[in-house]
């Protein structure tokens, strides 16, 4: 009897799974306004860099990202404007063909440029915080 109880509990625990597997949940995660907090690349920045003056607003219903430069924000990501994009798995592909893999952990979004293997030093990573 004891073995059956252990087996039953094991089956119950193994059969339970989360309904939120992350796939197809782009709207709930990427959607919203994000403020740039850091850029990591082989490039120089003014002191202070003013990353926080750049905001990205993802409208996942219309597949658009709006880039806002507040104050004297530099074009760290793109010039201010609205850009269309397509989503493929965990990759965002902008209308100009540039692709970024994204990873969201809590209120932090990391966009990693999908670089060209033949081009040296084109690696760039953006860290943003959800507003």
Give the pLDDT confidence score for residue 4 in this predicted structure.
43
Q: State pLDDT tens for residues 12-38.
A: 444 444 444 444 444 458 999 999 999
Residue 52 scores a pLDDT above 50: yes
Give the pLDDT of residue 35.
Answer: 95
Give the pLDDT score at 73: 65
pLDDT of residue 117: 66
The pTM score is 0.70
- Identify whether 83 is part of a domain: yes
- Residue 66 belongs to some domain of the structure: yes
Whole-angstrom Cα distance, residue 83 to residue 1?
64
**Which residue segment(s) compose the domain that 64 sits in?**
23-130
Distances in Å between the Cα of 91 and the Cα atoms of 4, 94, 97, 103, 110 are 46, 10, 12, 9, 11
Domain count along the chain: 1
Tokens of 30: 């990427």
């Amino acid at each position: 009897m004891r073995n059956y109880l252990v087996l039953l509990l094991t089956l119950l625990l193994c059969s339970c799974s989360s309904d939120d597997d992350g796939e197809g949940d782009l709207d709930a995660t990427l959607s919203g306004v994000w403020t740039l907090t850091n850029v990591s690349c082989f490039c120089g920045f003014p002191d202070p860099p003013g990353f926080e003056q750049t905001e990205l607003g993802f409208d996942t219903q219309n597949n658009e990202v709006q880039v806002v430069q507040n104050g004297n924000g530099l074009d760290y990501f793109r010039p201010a404007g609205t850009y269309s994009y397509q989503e493929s798995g965990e990759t965002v592909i902008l209308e100009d063909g540039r692709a970024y893999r994204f990873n969201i952990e809590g209120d932090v979004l990391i966009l990693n440029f999908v670089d060209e293997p033949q081009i040296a030093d084109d690696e760039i990573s953006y860290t943003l915080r959800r507003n």
